[in-house]
Structure 1
């Protein structure tokens, strides 16, 4: 009877889990170990002999299909027998050239149920018609049914029964072989672990080789526990792969499926192997959420590996950009959006040599934050706004107090040495926050000239900032605000960046400053306090104090506040 091949089944490379611990060396124990192992082995061999003595050791029978393709088995010899933990299956197919496949399909089924189920499958390559496979008994002592199938001679992916036999395993030790599907064999997979059944605690470090896959190709990992599933892509580099896999869903048994690219269908993956992981940790973590930009823009996020971390007031991210990905060389920074309730902040982390590694503030006080990492839109035309595309999202819980208006922020480098030095000079001898704020307003309004060209041509850059303004001493409203806020915060005065519209009769986008003076928020617009643009479209410096703590009613006639930006 024909049996259709299930290529999406597990396959793994033989070995067993070895546990060790450090202790003071005891040579007497080491000397006794080989002797004890021999005694144990001898015990099981005696059990095999005793069990076989009670069985009728009938010769293995082959199917009519085996006769059709001239298949012979050198091992095993009998259709029911006993074994000590492992057996060999060895055979030859004389008419192997007629077969529509290159693998022998071996199914091993345990009569009893174990932690990983009751069946393991092997796809054993044939070489010049010869095949050999070592089979371990994954559920320890007990009865196992083994079926060996060969490919059909007419239809691909169909297999015929060739031989079936029963094995009574007397060894109580469970050994779970690593097996590979045909797709796993063809990808040249080899894993760094020695067993298909592993005991881990919270994190599984997984790696290996994929010698037949090209660099930049990816393998897919699917981690499953009960109804939960997590998918992750790992890139091949120099024929190897490596990643850490968080065991997100707490204590218990996990199934890890390893899938490799289907050579005939783009963006399609086939099962290559299945591993089982027994997690001892009770901790439940949050999987990261990835978006299409992650793959499209060649991002690899190295840290964090999971969401739900707890921290005080800062958090770090680390990763790299594939230089061969679309816009890889042009991706000079990533954006970090942090959101808590209705509050949201945007930070920038530079990309240098295609790598990013930086931290950001969780500025809105204790609680849970939603963090989104994004790559910028790459465009040629100038614009006064920036668009960016999220590639990953996760949650972080912070415990630090709310210092949103004192901490450095995007464009506001209030802890930079240059800013601190300037703040100390401007506020020397001034005791009140109001006097400090007035000195900052006056300095910025008198010393920064308005950049008409930048405004008219939309020459805005992602790295516009207080430091950039301090260096050039020119800019538009955002740059005046950046510098004033940075100096105020460096002076210990709470300050924030206000967005809105200003002007008459046709208001345009505008930014100014609010500073907290004597417990009250006070408006200040150093841009409008610096001068004006004449009819020749030239900036005329004309310092005035009208826009330091202006009359609110008068200020609202020309300025409409839309919100605060962090």
Structure 2
């Protein structure tokens, strides 16, 4: 073999060696396609794909659709819609409406899902999530009408088949959400699982309050959410109706109609808990007066003796600066008790008691009604109402209540001093009666001017050492209860003048003992109070007592 031939063979071997396959160590491979993406492509390859035909309105406004391209096709869960419009000058809206209709019902019983997609510089683009898993969907893309507001004309209509069985859902967003720039944060999707509550937070513009309507089958309730000055909001939303899918509709205020809200966004939450609650019912003035009830979140809870009430008042709301106390009533059958919770720096945080034994209670939260109140008449306006289930034993005559702060340290300390060393209940009762009657002076001006206040109470009477019959009774009952004795206020009339009056009953050795510390303190002469202590009205014979006291009601 000559040298030239040998050289040629060597070159050929080098070329063949350079073109040989890579070793397994340095070979790169493509990632395998998702099985549903591959399945969708396979279905499309087997299908006679026909191009989408646009409606007549497309020619009028110069609209085109670059995606999708075909009248019928398959996808893995989602696809994109893209288009352009040359002439948007006559449109009555800035949004394209995309309506997606499933051949079967979604988890909330609906078959439709809508997108409202902004048109920016004549273009629009929307990723469409097929909301109901595997199956066929009819999709309609419509452009804003050139004459009628909130009316749309068809651009294109086509059919999409989802090959992926998994249910995935976007948050359904409507035009009011876009107008208020509503943004929901930290939601996993438009359909997710939770237990009992889910957290809704985000931002919104031009709204002091938003509403969430929670629906399941034929049951519905509303939750109000205050919006901070910076536009943020956050609240735990109850899934009231036990296990199953709840539809939560976020609603923003209507700019034209007062106290009216429009649907802005919709999400579905699959509650995994069997536990049920009842909704809190809010009055119209709840929002008008700027109240926000932080706790409770729901009604229908089971609780023992005490239950917290917590919230705040918008400082810019009417009467916010005047409001020093919020009132709560708990009612079980015919029995009702009132409680007052102080307001400090526009916030209130206190507790009420389910004092009438086991059973169902109706609880109402009230604000002072400054417009209808006067010195003689204190009026309240309802804010919220809900139900509770109490489990504790009956302690109606032992616990704190409106005006009777028997658990306050000053009251407890004084009660301890007055009853120290006394073992008999009658002795303790007499010591309290004597202290109040001797140390509190009757306020004639308050009586004549009818200058009753929302914060009248035992503690106020103790500090000011003056008051009328109600104030004497407040302090007496508070000191008795702080001493571990059952006590209650009796309201009625003084029979000789028919004037309204209040006095005290306390239980001594299992029987109710009557006392009137106001009349034991002194008497009125020539419209002046004469201080003169007497024990005549302590444990007076009931027949004698009833001669000048006409009993009407019991207050706890």
TM-score of the pair, normalised by structure 2:
0.89
Q: State the shift of 1:38 in Å.
A: 5.0
Residues 113-156 of structure 1 show CA distances to partners (whole Å, capped at 9, x for unaligned) of: 33243322212111121111111222222222222222233333
Alignment correspondent of 1:203? 197
The structure-2 alpha-carbon separation of the partners of 1:468 and 1:162, relative to structure 1 and needing over 3 Å to count, comes to closer
The structure-2 alpha-carbon separation of the partners of 1:540 and 1:51, relative to structure 1 and needing over 3 Å to count, comes to same
**2:257 is the alignment partner of 1:273:** no
| Equivalenced residues, count | 525
Q: State the shift of 1:443 in Å.
A: 2.6
Task: Report the Cα distance in structure 1 between the residues aligned to 2:52 and 2:84, rounded to whole angstroms.
Answer: 15
* Match 1:522 to one of 513, 518, 525: 513
Alignment correspondent of 2:218? 227
Q: Assess if the C-alpha contact under 8 Å between 1:214 and 1:236 holds in 2.
A: no
Q: State the shift of 1:503 in Å.
A: 4.8
TM-score of the pair, normalised by structure 1:
0.88
1:393-472 map, 5 Å? 393-472=385-464
1:243-282 map, 5 Å? 243-282=235-274
* Match 1:292 to one of 279, 284, 299: 284
Partner-residue secondary structure (3-state), 1:364? coil
Task: Report the Cα distance in structure 2 between the residues aligned to 1:477 and 1:268, rounded to whole angstroms.
Answer: 46
Q: State the shift of 1:335 in Å.
A: 0.6
The structure-2 alpha-carbon separation of the partners of 1:336 and 1:381, relative to structure 1 and needing over 3 Å to count, comes to closer
Residues 420-470 of structure 1 show CA distances to partners (whole Å, capped at 9, x for unaligned) of: 333333333432212222232223223322222222222222222223222
Aligned-pair RMSD on alpha carbons?
2.2
* Match 1:507 to one of 498, 516, 519: 498
The structure-2 alpha-carbon separation of the partners of 1:114 and 1:290, relative to structure 1 and needing over 3 Å to count, comes to closer
Task: Report the Cα distance in structure 1 between the residues aligned to 2:313 and 2:419, rounded to whole angstroms.
Answer: 43
Q: State the shift of 1:246 in Å.
A: 0.5
Task: Report the Cα distance in structure 2 between the residues aligned to 1:267 and 1:493, rounded to whole angstroms.
Answer: 49
1:169-188 map, 5 Å? 169-188=162-181
Partner-residue secondary structure (3-state), 2:319? coil
Q: Which sections of structure 2, spanning at least 5 residues, go unmatched?
A: 1-27
The structure-2 alpha-carbon separation of the partners of 1:512 and 1:263, relative to structure 1 and needing over 3 Å to count, comes to closer
Residues 270-316 of structure 1 show CA distances to partners (whole Å, capped at 9, x for unaligned) of: 22222122112111110011112212211111110111111111111
Residues 503-528 of structure 1 show CA distances to partners (whole Å, capped at 9, x for unaligned) of: 52x22111111121222111111221
Q: Assess if the C-alpha contact under 8 Å between 1:69 and 1:93 holds in 2.
A: yes
Q: Assess if the C-alpha contact under 8 Å between 1:178 and 1:194 holds in 2.
A: no
Q: Select between 134-143 and 108-117 the one with higher mean Cα deviation.
A: 108-117
1:100-499 map, 5 Å? 100-116=92-108, 117-192=110-185, 193-210=187-204, 213-214=205-206, 216=208, 218-237=209-228, 238-379=230-371, 382-499=374-491
Residues 523-565 of structure 1 show CA distances to partners (whole Å, capped at 9, x for unaligned) of: 1112212222223x22222222221121222221111111211
Alignment correspondent of 1:76? 68
Task: Report the Cα distance in structure 2 between the residues aligned to 1:381 and 1:115, rounded to whole angstroms.
Answer: 51
Alignment correspondent of 1:534? 525
Partner-residue secondary structure (3-state), 2:455? coil
Q: Which sections of structure 1, spanning at least 5 residues, go unmatched?
A: 1-34
Q: State the shift of 1:391 in Å.
A: 0.7
* Match 1:559 to one of 542, 546, 549: 549
Q: Which has the higher contact order (CA 8 A, sep 6+)?
A: 1
Q: State the shift of 1:493 in Å.
A: 2.4
Q: Assess if the C-alpha contact under 8 Å between 1:196 and 1:275 holds in 2.
A: yes
* Match 1:63 to one of 55, 62, 74: 55
Q: State the shift of 1:173 in Å.
A: 2.8
The structure-2 alpha-carbon separation of the partners of 1:426 and 1:197, relative to structure 1 and needing over 3 Å to count, comes to closer
